[in-house]
Chain A
């Protein structure tokens, strides 16, 4: 149970950042005093730092069910995505084709844009169905239509609507095509699906500190560092390692994985309750797959409601949520995810539960939402 003084009460935006896990805090504080030296040196301080870094790598590999040498730490999830995508393209040859689902995270799309200019990559977007799931038949068609070497980018789960992607089935449709999987939305929460060559994760989304990304490169995959190399412990990254943060990320990951059966069951049921309750409000549509989804995340859109006004009004009442509506984005463009799904882009709310979100918090949110929506509609004369 949460205390009323809990500073995170009402915070329902774990998909943007999960509050720091207690295990991460403990590991971070301990490692700050012992993991500051350069892990490449041979003196005692360096050996301490190296030991901590190796432990973090080992623990992360074990929690994710991959080999230790397949794990690299990067300076963020975005950095891991960029290295992951571009490393597969650069290792092919100039002018190869990158296929990606229409609902990939913007970090994947930005890497694709960059590759178009720098590596002459041809980029093709694969449509999704109304639930946000990639159309495998369209993927098959695109593979047959294109020529030359391909790479495929497909997320494990969608970050805005929670729909799980058929990564294993996509890998079967595209045999021999190296698959980059953006696993930032699901890493730690769900086991990694099979079928990927390279994958990326982001520690602050599972309760680790910000500034730690995880790049996974399967042994034997055609990945090559797309950026200037650096003479660090791990040749896939660059820059002086933030060793205390990597240990904290690993500690949080271990704890989240250990507890996830129970956490996921509880969160899945709470989200199911939200999905059911908001549908009762007139002209509100819940989007994303009802069952094949992330356990902790739900998105819905309220017809005739301004997304920014909705998020602001909810914040005034003590609830922190995200929105994919255009007015809430720096670009003033609507969410490309909602657009690709063919669902309403305005009046959008994404609610994502933290590991400590209680039933009571969810119920209080559900109790006040209908009134907030009704008031905002009344203000525009509807």
Chain B
């Protein structure tokens, strides 16, 4: 399962807050994908995963060119 979060236009830390709020709603092993235009989200998604013990799966690009940061819930 994958939950997509549309955080286009939101400034950090809003995309990370959205990610944190979405986490309890997905099962362990499932994925959350955050589409974010704020460039700070790249470093902050990875730092959040490290600090919260979740897995950072990498980055892909949405059809409109927006970076999408993929996270797997580990706990």
**Chain A interface (Cβ < 8 Å from any Cβ of B):** 283, 285, 301, 303-306, 325-327, 333-334, 338-339, 342-347, 380-382
Contacts of B48 in A (CB 8 A): 303, 344
- The residues of B that contact A343 with a CB separation of less than 8 Å are 43, 47
Supply 30 A–B pairs (Cβ within 8 Å), ascending by A: A283-B51, A285-B47, A285-B51, A303-B13, A303-B48, A303-B51, A304-B13, A304-B17, A305-B13, A306-B12, A325-B40, A326-B12, A326-B38, A326-B39, A333-B39, A333-B40, A334-B12, A334-B44, A338-B43, A339-B42, A339-B43, A342-B43, A342-B46, A343-B47, A344-B44, A344-B47, A346-B40, A381-B21, A382-B17, A382-B21
Binding site for A on B (CB under 8 A): 11-14, 16-17, 20-21, 38-40, 42-44, 46-48, 50-51
A327 adjacent to B20 (CB under 8 Å): no
User: Closest chain A residue to B13 by CB distance?
Assistant: A346
- Contact B12–A304 (Cβ < 8 Å): no
Q: What separation, in Å, do the CA atoms of A303 and B50 have in the docked complex?
A: 12
Q: How far is the CB of A299 from chain B (nearest CB, A)?
A: 14
Q: Are A334 and B40 in contact, with the CB atoms below 8 A?
A: yes
Q: Which A-B residue pairs are the 4 nearest by beta carbons? A: A334-B40, A346-B13, A344-B47, A339-B43
When the two chains form their complex, are residues B44 and A346 in contact, meaning their CB atoms are under 8 A apart?
yes
Q: How far is the CB of A4 from chain B (nearest CB, A)?
A: 36
Contact A380 B51 (CB under 8 A): no
Closest CB-CB distance, B5 to chain A, in whole Å? Answer: 15
Report the nearest A residue to B15, measured CB to CB: A346
Chain A: minimal CB distance from B36 (Å): 12
Residues in chain A near residue B44, CB distance under 8 A: 334, 344-346
- Complex CA gap A325/B40 in Å reads 9
Contacts of B17 in A (CB 8 A): 304, 380-382
Which A residues touch B40, using CB under 8 A?
A: 325-326, 333-334, 345-346
Q: How far, in Å, is A353 (CB) from chain B's closest CB?
A: 26
A-side contacts of B47, CB under 8 Å: 285, 301, 342-345
Taking A301-B47, A345-B12 as known contacts, 10 extra A-B pairs with beta carbons closer than 8 A to each other, sorted by chain A number, are A303-B16, A304-B16, A334-B40, A339-B42, A342-B47, A345-B47, A346-B12, A346-B16, A346-B40, A382-B17
Chain B residue numbers with a CB within 8 Å of A380 are 14, 17
Residues of B contacting A304 in the complex (Cβ-Cβ under 8 angstroms): 13, 16-17, 20
Neighbouring B residues of A339 by C-beta, 8 Å: 42-43
Give Cα A13 to B12, complex, Å: 24
A346: chain B residues at CB < 8 Å are 12-13, 16, 40, 44
* Contact assessment for B43 and A334 in the assembled complex, using a CB-CB cutoff below 8 Å: yes
Q: A344 to B51, Cβ gap below 8 A?
A: yes
Complex partner residue of A306 from B13, B20, B42, B46, CB under 8 angstroms: B13
Distance in angstroms from B71 CB to nearest chain A CB is 15
Q: How far is the CA of A343 from the CA of B43 in the complex (A)?
A: 7
* A355 smallest CB distance to B (angstroms): 33
Which residues of chain B are near A382, meaning CB under 8 Å?
Answer: 17, 20-21
Question: Which of A303, A325, A339, A346 has the most B CB atoms < 10 Å from its CB?
Answer: A346
CB closest residue in chain B, given A347: B13
Contacts of B16 in A (CB 8 A): 303-304, 346
Q: Closest residue to A306 on the B side, CB-wise? A: B13
Q: How far is the CB of B37 from chain A (nearest CB, A)?
A: 11
Q: How far in angstroms is the closest Cβ of chain A from B34?
A: 14
Smallest Cβ-Cβ distance to A284: which chain B residue:
B51
Contact B51 A327 (CB under 8 A): no
**Nearest-CB residue, chain A, relative to B46:** A342
Residues in A with CB closer than 8 Å to B46 are 342
Please, which residues of chain A bring their CB within 8 A of the CB of B50? Answer: 342
A381 to B51, CA, bound (A): 20
Give the most central of B12, B16, B39, B40: most A CB within 10 Å: B40
- B17 smallest CB distance to A (angstroms): 5
Say which residue of A283, A301, A334, A344 sits within 8 Å of B39 (CB atoms). A334
B43 x A344 contact (CB < 8 A): yes
By a CB distance below 8 angstroms, the chain A residues around B21 are 381-382
Q: Chain A: which residue is nearest B40 at the CB level?
A: A334
Minimum CB–CB distance for A59 against chain B, Å: 43
